[in-house]
Structure 1
Amino acid sequence: MSFTLHLGDCLEVLRTLPDDSIDSVVTDPPYGIRFMGKSWDGADIEQRAAYRAGMPSHAEACGPNGGHRSVAAEAGKYDLTPKGMRAFQAFTLEWASECLRVLKPGGHLLSFAAARTYHHMAVGIEMAGFEIRDQIMWVFGSGFPKSHNLKGDRAGWGTALKPAHEPICMARKPLTGTVADNVQRHGTGAINIDACRVEAVDAERLAKHWDRETTIDMRGGNFVGGRSGGVLQTTEASALGRWPANLVHDGSPEVVAMFPAEAGASAPVKGSEPTANGFSGSVAYSGMMGRVQGAFHGDSGSAARFFYCAKASRKDRNEGLHSGVTPAVATSATMRNIEDADWSARNGNHHPTVKPTDLMAYLCRLVTPAGGLVLDPFTGSGSTGKAAIREGFRFIGCELDPEYLTIARARIEHEVTQQALKNQQPDLFG
């Protein structure tokens, strides 16, 4: 298990990597909204564009047309105007084009985004030459609405919904020949379904994320939630587990309660006479045929049928780092408290957008062949690298901020040590 971390602009670093050398790209790039005023989501992009404008055409940081002030100079600003979004899209096109070059044919790219700017990121990725294959949704219950609430006769009106998901763009570099040919030649082009199947009966595990009022009755294969009133039902599925879906959730009561107890719909499907599999496959709308109870294409069991992963815990964030026991913000902190907190003064991992290792491990496992090489051009505090090492992959990361790179290195090195300890053979002779 090896990893390499590069300090610097990801575009300059990517240009040093050979063509067709990377198996997968799993990344969490800047969202183009100047998140919490962080320079990597705005000012750094502007500085690079200004550098491009003032350099001769032979400079590595310049585009194919020589030194010029790219519209990407405006990317990252909290600006949803057409000009601002064109800038963000151009910024995405730059890094996605380099990712396309270094990926092996059929290699996958998974990239997080913000709900408001996802479409421009996806277009930039597509314009770079990728095929958009899907969109994975990570749904969670712990988001804070950042709304400007009105007063007076407009009390009760605001400007924002509660954030409850982050979209992940799933794209693929064009294949060489058929999928089978491409996988045989390069090891890439397909996704690892069996390695990412969801446990068939995982109610007990899911319940661990619930509050103390949750009561569990495993005798009938069901458990009933506490405060939320949600009901989770599990039934037997394939021995390998349920087919992975393009939805991931955090297991919180808020999210689990949003799912109907039955899979696929909140009301029974209307169809013809049931077969041995419980459903004939035809659907009627006239009301002449009876309802087929439980007929949901062989799937069942509320939110338990999806992979779930809570947001990064304090333990996950700080493994391998020296950290104090006092958090930077209280559990009940508002978005304003979070923005105003002095994160850099706290020991441990103070990166504001840490993704959970379990989620990144799931994503790496989904799109990376055994022993493959994972690239993250926007490494941040190293969650993708930590996850890649945990899954037995090799890793290359790029990070612009020296402080975050130090955190990433410590977290990844800690994971390397942990995996080495797990893999040690016992000394039978003491």
Structure 2
Amino acid sequence: MTPYYKDDLITLHHGDCLEVLATLPEASVDAIVTDPPYALGFMGKTWDKQPDFQDWCRMWAVECLRVLKPGGHMLAFGGTRTWHRLACGVEDAGFELRDQIAWLYANGVPKSLDVAKAIDKESNNSRARKLEFTEWMRSTGITAREINEATGTRTGNRYLSSKQQPAIPTEAIFDKLRPILPKVPARIEKLVTERSSGKFSAFARRTDRKVVKRNIDNQATDFDLRVVNAGTPVLDEAKRWQGWGTALKPAFEPCIVARKPLVGTVADNVLAYGTGAININATRVNGTDGRWPPNLTIDGHVAADLDVTTPGGRSRFFPTFRFEVRAPTRERPKVNGVAHPTVKPLALMRWLVRLVTQPGGTVLDPFAGSGTTLEAAVLEGFNAIGIEREETYLPLIMQRLRRIGDVPFNFEGGTE
């Protein structure tokens, strides 16, 4: 397979990792450090949707196992809701699960459904009820012009619409229509009564006071606008569930630590292949004389909180990496308006590749994304192989690789 890009240190392939991995030689890489899709459908991206996630993980992990040298490590990030499937797939492929690294951060963004709002919206946006009303209105043969003339409003189209903004009038407006309508069925009478009572919260929508002031002159007779504070439940059922949601704020991501089975003892394997162990001294907190690398890393916010609440500044026990919801411009390539939505901190990825790769070794990332792992590997003195399926992300990787030479590494353990 012809690489998309290749130089003395980096090889980048464009294609599905299952297909590209099959072309790589057996036992040809020292370590795999990657951030695969989490199967959460993040931002609606198709690459983050795998129907049978565990089996898919097993399939690419089988190929990763083949191309790794005996004793080679794989570090793979996972989502908190799906990492167990990742772990099972990796284990089923033949890897040994050695540990898990937790990457903690303080400023994740919660993505929870507001239950009270959902209850209001469910009733408010009862489109089926509105369409039932407008369908009956159309069946009478009445026109929007006739409705406007009878009611003194300009909203006749909404009482006939089958698509855009169908509506049910208040009882006051509907009473003005009765003289030009046939006998009204009981089900339609009920819809009008319920609409006027505010039973359906869409009929009592949250409205900003300025919006009411702008619209009141020409539509107040049609819409009974009520002003409530943003976020205030309207229905009694919604009020009961105010403050309830469906998800916690994300504050950590797990990273699977897996190893290909050894050939002989650890010592035998290290001597034969240069793999099978982790580089403790190169990843100590605060340098080569620092503390033993833990299976937990933190960001600056967590570090600050630890130092406030514990004597002696306990953040000194943990590697600290900056985390931002949106990575800084320098670490977030953007080409023609396209940027990758899930970019890991460069310093974190440098620490990880250094942890599991022998000097001069080769790091593989089968899900290259914007190329953070590739950049990290090269900056640490390793060779790198990347695979990326999405064509739109290839220019991001190339932009990142072109500027590798001018990035200083400023990891200082407890502070960065």
TM-score range relative to shorter protein: 0.5 to 0.7
Q: Please, which moves more after superposition, 143-152 or 182-191?
A: 143-152
Within-5 A mapping of 1:47-86: 74=51
Aligned pair partner of 1:418 in 403, 406, 410: 406
Equivalent residue, structure 1, for 2:45:
38
Equivalent residue, structure 1, for 2:64:
99
TM-score (norm 1): 0.61
Matched, 1:131 2:96: yes
Equivalent residue, structure 1, for 2:275:
188
Equivalent AA in structure 1 for residue 271 of structure 2: Q
Matched, 1:24 2:13: no
Conserved? CA contact 1:106–1:173, under 8 Å: yes
Structure 1: how far apart are the matches of 2:295 and 2:313?
16
Equivalent AA in structure 1 for residue 24 of structure 2: L
Structure 1: how far apart are the matches of 2:344 and 2:33?
12
Percent of residue pairs bearing the same amino acid type: 51
Change (3 A) 1:304 1:96: same
Conserved? CA contact 2:15–2:389, under 8 Å: yes
Equivalent residue, structure 1, for 2:328:
314
Q: Deviations over 1:364-410 (max 9, x none)?
A: 00000001000000000000001001000000000011120121122
Higher relative contact order (CA 8 A, sep 6+): 2
Larger Cα-atom Rg: 2
Equivalent AA in structure 2 for residue 159 of structure 1: T
Query: Which of structure 1's runs of 4+ aligned residues deviate more than 4 A?
Result: 258-263
Q: Deviations over 1:160-200 (max 9, x none)?
A: 11100000000000001111110000000000000000017
Structure 2: how far apart are the matches of 1:241 and 1:127?
36
Q: Please, which moves more after superposition, 349-358 or 14-23?
A: 349-358
| Partner SS, residue 132 of structure 1 | strand
Deviation at residue 159 of structure 1 after TM alignment: 0.9
| Partner SS, residue 85 of structure 2 | helix
Conserved? CA contact 2:340–2:369, under 8 Å: yes
Q: Deviations over 1:108-134 (max 9, x none)?
A: 000000000011100100000000000
Structure 1: how far apart are the matches of 2:71 and 2:44?
36
Aligned pair partner of 1:15 in 19, 22, 32: 22
Matched residue count: 277
Conserved? CA contact 1:5–1:409, under 8 Å: no
Within-5 A mapping of 1:30-429: 30-42=37-49, 74=51, 87-151=52-116, 152-199=239-286, 240-252=289-301, 254=302, 256-257=304-305, 261-262=309-310, 301-311=313-323, 313-318=327-332, 346=337, 350-415=339-404, 417-418=405-406
Equivalent AA in structure 1 for residue 14 of structure 2: L
Conserved? CA contact 1:140–1:255, under 8 Å: no
Structure 1: how far apart are the matches of 2:33 and 2:300?
23
Q: Deviations over 1:247-269 (max 9, x none)?
A: 011111x5542578558xxxxxx
Structure 2: how far apart are the matches of 1:399 and 1:418?
24
Deviation at residue 144 of structure 1 after TM alignment: 1.1
Structure 2: how far apart are the matches of 1:246 and 1:404?
31
Q: Deviations over 1:4-47 (max 9, x none)?
A: 000000010000001111100000000011111111112xx5xx
Conserved? CA contact 2:332–2:343, under 8 Å: no
| Partner SS, residue 403 of structure 2 | helix
Change (3 A) 1:261 1:419: closer
Equivalent AA in structure 1 for residue 375 of structure 2: K
Deviation at residue 102 of structure 1 after TM alignment: 0.3
| Partner SS, residue 115 of structure 2 | coil
| Partner SS, residue 308 of structure 1 | coil
Structure 2: how far apart are the matches of 1:307 and 1:166?
15
Structure 1: how far apart are the matches of 2:371 and 2:73?
20
Deviation at residue 150 of structure 1 after TM alignment: 2.4
Deviation at residue 157 of structure 1 after TM alignment: 1.3
Change (3 A) 1:171 1:259: farther
Deviation at residue 153 of structure 1 after TM alignment: 1.1
Change (3 A) 1:22 1:194: same
Structure 2: how far apart are the matches of 1:89 and 1:380?
21
The alignment's C-alpha RMSD in Å is: 2.1
Q: Deviations over 1:281-301 (max 9, x none)?
A: xxxxxxxxxxxxxxxxxxx74
Change (3 A) 1:311 1:192: same
Conserved? CA contact 2:343–2:372, under 8 Å: yes
